[in-house]
Amino acid sequence: MPESSAGPDSVVTVERAGAVLQIGLNRPAKRNALNDTLILALGACLEDLPRDVRAIVIHGVGEHFSAGLDLSELTERDATEGLAHSRMWHRVFDRIQHCRVPVIAALRGAVIGGGLELACAAHIRVAEPSAYFALPEGQRGIFVGGGGSVRLPRLIGVARMADMMLTGRVYSAAEGVALGFTQYLTEAGGALAKAMELADKIAGNAPLTNFAVLQALPMIAESNPQAGLIMESLMATVAQSDKEAKQRIRDFLDRKTAKVRPG
Ligand code: 1HE
């Protein structure tokens, strides 16, 4: 079992399992609705990560990942405060997207509104069959504010996101995989275990490869092709000149590592 380092009343649980940091959104009675305290606590977990943390898993305590923005905090907020609030979410979710180590979201139950935006900032999404995805902002008379309009269209397309917001369409866990939103669908109750298994694998990669995948790949994919190809060559050269890469390649040639087999 992971070693625990947060009190039971904390809005996030923080546990260590070897090189993996497991963060739980911990307001199950409010379906993990994201209030300011929770968002700031999540941001604090990602600040000054210990050097020996090599992957992160974010999950929801209870039956749901997150019911999105805590609507009870919205009623008195004016426009200036609303802008500051959205920018605060952006800072925290950017910290996830640009984290030093890969972040995996383990999804179950409601993955709604701001909860969906949070999941979008992770690098890998794992869902179990109870997970469902919705953007009820249209019904609530509001708009996404946690980076969803930037990140979600890159995963499922503008037209699908517009449909979700305009009609309240809800996608199932199986549809999430088909649309490219989630990379894995597990058996019932299996998302967190699968996310931890993937995090363990990732933690065993060469750190420079993980860095390249998180920091260089998204930039390359969004740049013009010629600039992207130069960036790719530079990143490849740096990665393969690292002594860890040389050792791993020697290990393969000496038949000391596993072969690639069908999944
Ligand atoms: C909440 C929230 C919340 C639950 N803010 N308190 N998100 C939404 O529009 C989704 C709203 N929530 C729901 O549709 C349902 O609560 C659920 C489908 C997620 C769960 O249903 P259920 O039957 O399991 O629970 P419940 O009885 O509805 O909720 C349990 C408690 O959590 C209840 O409080 P209680 O004191 O009466 O027990 C709910 O009021 C509370 N609760 N969801 C506040 N979201 C940066 S912009 C992002 C914009 C958005 O995220 S918009 C989407 C908002």
The whole-number pLDDT of residue 5 equals 54
Which of the listed residues 31, 61, 65, 133 should we mutate to test ligand 1's pocket, taking the one with most ligand atoms within 8 A of CB?
Answer: 31
The whole-number pLDDT of residue 48 equals 86
How much is the pTM?
0.95
Cα–Cα distance for residue pair 86/68, rounded to 1 Å: 13
The whole-number pLDDT of residue 3 equals 47
**Residue nearest to ligand 1 atom 42, measured at CA:** 30
Ligand 1 mean position to 242 CA, how many Å? 48
Residue in this structure with the two tokens 């300011």, named with its chain if needed: 36
The whole-number pLDDT of residue 135 equals 98
The whole-number pLDDT of residue 260 equals 92
Q: Which tokens sit at 142?
A: 């509001």
The whole-number pLDDT of residue 74 equals 86
**Residue nearest to ligand 1 atom 37, measured at CA:** 30
Tell me the pLDDT tens digit for each residue of 201-256: 999 999 999 999 999 999 999 999 999 999 999 999 999 999 999 999 999 999 99
**Residue nearest to ligand 1 atom 19, measured at CA:** 67
Reply yes or no on whether 137 is catalytic: yes
For the chain, residues with pLDDT lower than 70 are 1-8
Q: Taking a C-beta distance cutoff of 8 angstroms, is the pair 145, 87 a contact?
A: no
Positive or negative: CA dihedral 60, 63, 68, 70: negative
Q: Is 76 helix (H, G, I), strand (E, B) or coil?
A: coil
Reply yes or no on whether 117 is catalytic: yes
Q: Parallel, antiparallel, or unpaired for β 184-185 and 124-127?
A: parallel
- H helices of 204-242, in order, are 207-211, 217-222, 225-241
Q: Say which amino acid occupies 58.
A: I
The whole-number pLDDT of residue 1 equals 38
The whole-number pLDDT of residue 78 equals 92
Cα–Cα distance for residue pair 13/240, rounded to 1 Å: 38
